Amino acid sequence: MTDTLDRSIDQADDGLCDADGRTPDDDALIARYIEPHPFNLGPSEARIADHGAPVWMLIAYHEGTGSDISSTAADYGLDPDAMEAAIRYYCRHRALIDARILLNHSYFES
């Protein structure tokens, strides 16, 4: 199982977070589309406002399928800007969200 988790971490580094900093546009996009979990479970459980899809799930799907942002958004019935907001949020909370993704993967591999 450790090999699988190591591969998952390596695969997660696909260039989603290559931007060199935050911008006011990032803040506005995140504020518009991302909301905390209603039980305040932390950044790893944030979700798309008015939809409910967790950011970690969108990122895991996007990385797992290798699809582009528009395709991932369409597969979940999201505005592409909502998917872009999820990616920008992920980049700010990458360690926590990656850990959440690995936790989910480990559940299904046991």
Antiparallel, parallel or unpaired: β 34-35 and 47-48: antiparallel
Number of domains in the chain: 1
In a domain, 5, yes or no: no
Are the CB atoms for 25 and 34 separated by under 8 Å?
no
In a domain, 92, yes or no: yes
The reported pLDDT for the residue numbered 51 is: 94
In a domain, 79, yes or no: yes
- State the CB neighbour count (10 A cutoff) for residue 69: 17
The reported pLDDT for the residue numbered 81 is: 96
The reported pLDDT for the residue numbered 14 is: 54
In a domain, 13, yes or no: no
Instruction: Convert the pLDDT of each residue in 30-54 to its tens digit.
Output: 999 999 998 888 899 999 999 999 9
- Residue 86's domain comprises 21-109
In a domain, 64, yes or no: yes
In a domain, 100, yes or no: yes
Can you tell me the distance from the alpha carbon of 101 to that of 110, in angstroms, rounded to the nearest whole number? Answer: 15
pLDDT < 50 stretches in the chain: 1-13
CATH number of the CATH domain containing 77: 1.10.10.10
Can you tell me the distance from the alpha carbon of 80 to that of 77, in angstroms, rounded to the nearest whole number? Answer: 9
